């Protein structure tokens, strides 16, 4: 293994031990890290593998490839993880023993102001995970109708007054486009709840980011494919950072459906592809929270592929 020169400088891996425990890595197994980023989780998984084992990592962010290394049993896939099944098939792989997904935006992406993720900078509105394709935050903010903005901000930002936000954005862009993150903050400032301004800005930014990257639909497509590619007894480990993601993961593990409705067979057995290993989400301990503030909102769920 040829090491990259980055030891977690790009992104400190959240709940690393808990992720490795959840995956229950077998040295000769085949594992997938769907959110490679800085390679923090992936590097530790790789250390547990023998030469017969293999690790496949996904990341659509071109910056992430710089953190990859060269080895016969390591493969970097420059793709969105919603193409999991097809990309594995292209590598000649149909089944794997474990899948990890850390759904958070990496520290690196937040710390690169030109990406437009952070509320603390004044850079162009972008927020695309894959900067080579799709509409950016600029198009969403400046071209969506007031109704579209209101729906998006209410649903994905869980903001209590989404219409006020949508109206403020539409009013400002009548005179000139909202081009930067700083300009958007200036629009939001007069309507931000007192003493909760930063949380409010973060909620609106979250809503726009989710919309730009189609994150909820992408997550659903990925989760459905994990059940298809996992070997019986294979593990799925997913770490989410807001309630919308966690609800989808929880419902899919519980019922095999995203609305959480349970279907049963003639004998009363629940028809679902996964069994929960963790009944409640695992959260970071106090020691990790002191080291890594990003872990504060992380919820980890672990499931195992049914034998059937």
What CATH number does the domain containing 205 carry? 1.10.150.170
Binding site residue list: 39-41, 59, 81, 102, 109
Q: Is residue 201 part of a domain?
A: yes
Q: Is residue 3 part of a domain?
A: no
CATH number at residue 262: 3.40.50.150
For residues 208 and 222, state if they share a domain.
Answer: no
Q: What is the pLDDT along the chain (308 residues), one digit of tens a residue?
A: 433 334 444 457 899 999 999 999 999 999 999 999 889 999 999 999 999 999 999 998 777 888 999 999 999 999 999 999 999 999 999 999 999 999 976 544 444 555 555 666 678 898 887 776 678 999 999 999 999 999 999 999 999 999 999 999 999 999 999 999 999 999 999 999 999 999 999 999 999 999 999 999 999 999 999 999 999 999 999 999 999 999 999 999 999 999 988 888 888 888 899 999 999 999 999 999 888 887 888 999 999 999 86
Q: Which range of residues forms the domain containing residue 84?
A: 16-107+215-305
For residues 199 and 55, state if they share a domain.
Answer: no
For residues 59 and 26, state if they share a domain.
Answer: yes
For residues 146 and 189, state if they share a domain.
Answer: yes
Q: Is residue 83 part of a domain?
A: yes
**Domain end position, chosen among 145, 180, 213:** 213
pLDDT for 20: 97
pLDDT for 291: 86
For residues 131 and 202, state if they share a domain.
Answer: yes
For residues 300 and 223, state if they share a domain.
Answer: yes
For residues 28 and 100, state if they share a domain.
Answer: yes
pLDDT for 13: 86
Three-state SS letters, the chain: CCCCCCCCCCCCCCCHHHHHHHHCCCCCCEEEECCCCCCHHHHHHHHCCCCCCEEEEECCCHHHHHHCCCCCCEEEECCCHHHHHHHHHHCCCCCEEEEEEECCCCHHHHHCHHHCCCCCCCCECCCCCCCCCCCCHHHHHHHCCHHHHHHHHHHHCCCCCHHHHHHHHHHHHHHCCCCEHHHHHHHHHHHCCCCCHHHHHHHHHHHHHHHHHCHHHHHHHHHHHHHHHEEEEEEEEEEECCHHHHHHHHHHHHHCCCCCCCCECCCCCECCCEEECCCCCECCCHHHHHHCHHHHHCEEEEEEECCC
Q: Cβ distance 68 to 76 under 8 Å?
A: yes
Query: β-pairing, 74-77 with 274-276?
Result: unpaired
For residues 228 and 87, state if they share a domain.
Answer: yes
pLDDT for 126: 87
**Domain end position, chosen among 213, 245, 265:** 213
* Structural domains in the chain (count): 2
Q: Is residue 139 part of a domain?
A: yes
Q: Is residue 261 part of a domain?
A: yes
Q: Is residue 127 part of a domain?
A: yes
Tokens encoding 125: 């509105």
Q: Is residue 98 part of a domain?
A: yes
Q: Cβ distance 115 to 104 under 8 Å?
A: no
Task: Give the sign of the dihedral formed by CA 183, CA 189, CA 191, CA 197.
Answer: positive
For residues 223 and 91, state if they share a domain.
Answer: yes
**Domain end position, chosen among 181, 213, 245:** 213
For residues 160 and 194, state if they share a domain.
Answer: yes
Binding site residue list for S-adenosyl-L-methionine: 39-41, 59, 81, 102, 109
pLDDT for 119: 65
For residues 32 and 87, state if they share a domain.
Answer: yes
For residues 222 and 82, state if they share a domain.
Answer: yes
pLDDT for 117: 55
Q: Is residue 290 part of a domain?
A: yes
């Amino acid at each position: 293994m040829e090491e990259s020169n980055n030891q977690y400088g790009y992104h400190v891996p959240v709940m690393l031990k808990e992720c490795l425990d959840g995956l229950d890595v077998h040295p000769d197994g085949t594992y997938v890290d769907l959110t490679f980023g800085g390679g923090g989780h992936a590097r530790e998984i790789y250390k547990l593998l023998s030469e017969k084992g293999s690790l496949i990592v996904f990341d659509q962010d071109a910056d992430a490839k710089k953190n990859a290394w060269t080895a016969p049993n390591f493969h970097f896939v420059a793709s969105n993880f919603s193409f999991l099944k097809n990309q594995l098939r292209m590598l000649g792989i149909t089944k794997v023993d474990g899948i990890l997904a850390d759904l958070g935006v990496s520290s690196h992406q937040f710390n690169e102001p030109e990406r437009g993720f952070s509320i603390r900078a004044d850079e162009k509105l972008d927020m695309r995970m894959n900067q080579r394709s799709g509409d950016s935050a600029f198009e969403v903010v400046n071209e969506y109708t007031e109704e579209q903005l209101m729906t998006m901000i209410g649903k994905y930002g869980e903001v209590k007054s989404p219409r006020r936000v949508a109206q403020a954005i539409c009013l400002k862009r009548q005179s000139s486009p909202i081009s930067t993150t700083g300009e958007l903050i200036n629009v939001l400032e007069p309507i931000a709840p007192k003493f909760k301004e930063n949380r409010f800005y973060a909620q609106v930014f979250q809503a726009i980011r989710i919309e730009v990257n189609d994150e909820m639909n992408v997550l659903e497509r990925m989760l459905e494919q994990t059940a298809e590619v996992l070997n019986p007894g294979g593990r799925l480990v997913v770490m989410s950072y807001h309630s919308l993601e966690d609800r989808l993961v929880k419902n899919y593990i519980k019922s095999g459906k995203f609305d959480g409705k349970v279907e049963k067979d003639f004998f009363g057995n629940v028809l679902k592809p996964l069994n929960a290993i963790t009944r409640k989400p695992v959260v970071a301990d106090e020691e990790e929270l002191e080291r890594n503030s990003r872990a504060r909102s992380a919820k980890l769920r672990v499931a195992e592929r049914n034998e059937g």
